Structure 1
């Protein structure tokens, strides 16, 4: 799909949960909505400016009827999606710039600001229902664990914290040790049992919920710049529980598989502009992944071209267990070659006459050759160049690590 020009730098994007509608929050304070179709056509549905200050973050209600926008003005604006009009403004919702928002439940919204303050809001009530002040630097991202009714927040102070939204206590139930780096993004994988955190120095930190939130259990290097955004792929694709999309400040949107770790390829390229946010439409189960950076466009990339045309043809889908197929190929090669003569023995599909007619080579002039493993069919360039790798090793072209 062609890039959607928006007219100013984009800070955040959000998709309607069940319609082909995408929203963009701009540096100018304008919030725009665009409809799109599978043929790559798009149309602006509305453009509204709740404030002259920048819009840093967006969140959409569960039914898609309302859009919340917040940012430099410290207020939370509620926009009616059907009319494109601002229907409510919560002035001075925070004391400083609001950096991140996330809808947790149909009537619960979380917001985090540049001073590390987190507030929970019931849109039906005028004031915040919870306020947490245990972080001392900006809130970079939120994640909601529905099974435990817990909100997990990452912060620029180098820690993540876990809050039970059912508890009336104004303190977290857990907080990690200082990771000695800014934590910028967070995403659950493996059915929510493991948590991936993107950092300023380009490390993916892995937390295991069974091991507690005190410290990460693994650190995966490979990205040459900060990992500002993380996103899951639709569940219909193979290895969706361990394959993620990463948006980096080097302008590259990558598909990365974890356990074992390997770079699957580049999904989108924003050139020299850092990627601020990424999201998949239709509540994370759609066809398009949206990505925005510091350029004045909203980029939509077709995931079908990335995963269906290339990924599903690969025999090594299940975390490097494709050796079984390779062994089968080798076994078949051995069965069709006589080790004493190195002449090919006709199989059931080849008659003895074909051997005599030279269609099956049995020449004695050939030097004996050992049985060779058959090479797999060349894969899509996005996934080419794979090899057997060790644990937690990212495979990529040398240029991928050039700036490390």
Structure 2
């Protein structure tokens, strides 16, 4: 409050009060206060999240798949649970949990429209669930005499499955006989021999993966005995079987617009045989030099593969021509068991024996600057996988410990 003072000459002077620093406006303090960025010379704000946080489960995760039409991820754990999660770049929420089974689910696959989920179980059964309600729509209680390892829906009528004994079966899952389950008031379709349209035992070890082209002509199965076997879907007979490799074949994926087939091998040499589609008797190329066994692989583009290794690393490389890029992510030296690629190709999910589902944003793989020779992540080291860390990797190299400090031309600070 101002004061009016009368001077000796009769004039009046108005004296403004001196502002008290203890009672000054807080907004003025914020404006005058120095920001941490100005003091230390670097940005203290947290970076914006580009991938969902890790999903923690009560037990190990065996398999996972992304929904083909929505931002959803289905996860199968070793205790017989199947959970569906909604995800975004900031969070992931549990959307649906399917009825728990006493057995273990090892094979997962969505239908083309994402309305149905096909699953194979260790007790030899096959199940088909609705993704809208989670209800059990179809079941094959004794589909295989051994545990089912892989499943693959082919058309609106047909699905394929492979078991631990090397048997591949083809099913017409629309053939049905209505049976009322005691635990449900709704009828569930129970399949017997009428739904089985093909059964071939050509291998002596487990069927690790199944794949089919868009023309629905060939069904190809990889096995733990180290062979690739193709089946004709028209004649429903064996077409070709290649010579036996020295290690199990674990996974397959298409490259070059489904003209080539890349196969992962569980070998210390880490070989990747390449087959020409339709000619499965012998590979046309083979790429060596991978540091560990390959457990899973997905194709980000027609030539770019992302592979999960037994040493806990997830690596990216180009095929035809071959070029190694670097480490996409890691699971702390635990074997990475499964990989899944989202519908837009920008999100990668992986699981291991650490009870975690980890997400990796691999959108940078599609940028043009990734194909240049002078990339930032290639300049970090000339040799060694540990130094070739791609931007999605959550572990930094030791040489990057002081990478967030300002350069000499950006200012400097001193320790007391």
Normalised-by-shorter TM-score class: 0.7 to 0.9
Superimposed CA distance per residue, residues 185-215 of structure 1 (whole angstroms, 9 cap, x where no aligned partner): 11121122222111111211122347x3222
2:95 equivalent to 1:28? no
Map of 1:216 onto structure 2:
283
* Cα contact 2:66–2:340 (8 A) shared by 1: yes
Map of 2:369 onto structure 1:
313
Between the aligned partners of 2:145 and 2:110, the Cα distance in structure 1 is 23
Superimposed CA distance per residue, residues 85-107 of structure 1 (whole angstroms, 9 cap, x where no aligned partner): 32332101110110111122232
User: Judging changes above 3 Å, is the alpha-carbon distance between structure 1 residues 19 and 253 closer, same or farther for their aligned structure 2 residues?
Assistant: same
2:298 equivalent to 1:231? yes
* Cα contact 1:112–1:139 (8 A) shared by 2: yes
Q: Aligned match of 1:73 in 96, 117, 123?
A: 123
Map of 1:237 onto structure 2:
none
2:218 equivalent to 1:150? yes
Superimposed CA distance per residue, residues 40-62 of structure 1 (whole angstroms, 9 cap, x where no aligned partner): 31100122244112111111122
Map of 1:255 onto structure 2:
316
1:219 offset after TM fit, Å?
2.2
User: Judging changes above 3 Å, is the alpha-carbon distance between structure 1 residues 303 and 94 closer, same or farther for their aligned structure 2 residues?
Assistant: same
Q: Aligned match of 2:208 in 140, 146, 158?
A: 140
Task: Note the residue ranges of structure 1 that are not aligned, 5 or more in a row.
Answer: 234-239, 317-321, 323-377, 388-394
Alignment of 1:287-366 (within 5 A): 287-304=346-363, 306-308=364-366, 311-314=367-370, 316=372
Provide the TM-score with structure 1 as the length reference: 0.74
Superimposed CA distance per residue, residues 23-45 of structure 1 (whole angstroms, 9 cap, x where no aligned partner): 011100100110011x3311001
Partner secondary structure for residue 7 of structure 1? coil
Map of 2:339 onto structure 1:
278
* Cα contact 1:66–1:79 (8 A) shared by 2: yes
Between the aligned partners of 2:96 and 2:247, the Cα distance in structure 1 is 39
Q: CA RMSD in A?
A: 2.1
User: Judging changes above 3 Å, is the alpha-carbon distance between structure 1 residues 251 and 166 closer, same or farther for their aligned structure 2 residues?
Assistant: same
Between the aligned partners of 1:57 and 1:314, the Cα distance in structure 2 is 34
Partner secondary structure for residue 105 of structure 1? coil
Map of 2:379 onto structure 1:
384
Alignment of 1:73-222 (within 5 A): 73-125=123-175, 126=191, 127-147=195-215, 149-168=217-236, 171-201=237-267, 202-209=270-277, 212-222=279-289
Superimposed CA distance per residue, residues 235-272 of structure 1 (whole angstroms, 9 cap, x where no aligned partner): xxxxx221111111111111111222221111111112
Q: How many residues align?
A: 317
Which has more radius of gyration?
Answer: 2
Provide the TM-score with structure 2 as the length reference: 0.72
Between the aligned partners of 2:265 and 2:172, the Cα distance in structure 1 is 31
Superimposed CA distance per residue, residues 375-403 of structure 1 (whole angstroms, 9 cap, x where no aligned partner): xxx5232x43698xxxxxxx854889xxx
Between the aligned partners of 2:381 and 2:276, the Cα distance in structure 1 is 28
* Cα contact 1:50–1:77 (8 A) shared by 2: no
Structure 1 runs (4+) greater than 3 angstroms displaced: 383-387, 395-400
1:148 offset after TM fit, Å?
5.7
* Cα contact 1:262–1:396 (8 A) shared by 2: no
Partner secondary structure for residue 79 of structure 2? coil
* Cα contact 1:150–1:165 (8 A) shared by 2: yes
Between the aligned partners of 1:161 and 1:35, the Cα distance in structure 2 is 37
* Cα contact 1:62–1:106 (8 A) shared by 2: no
Between the aligned partners of 2:235 and 2:210, the Cα distance in structure 1 is 18
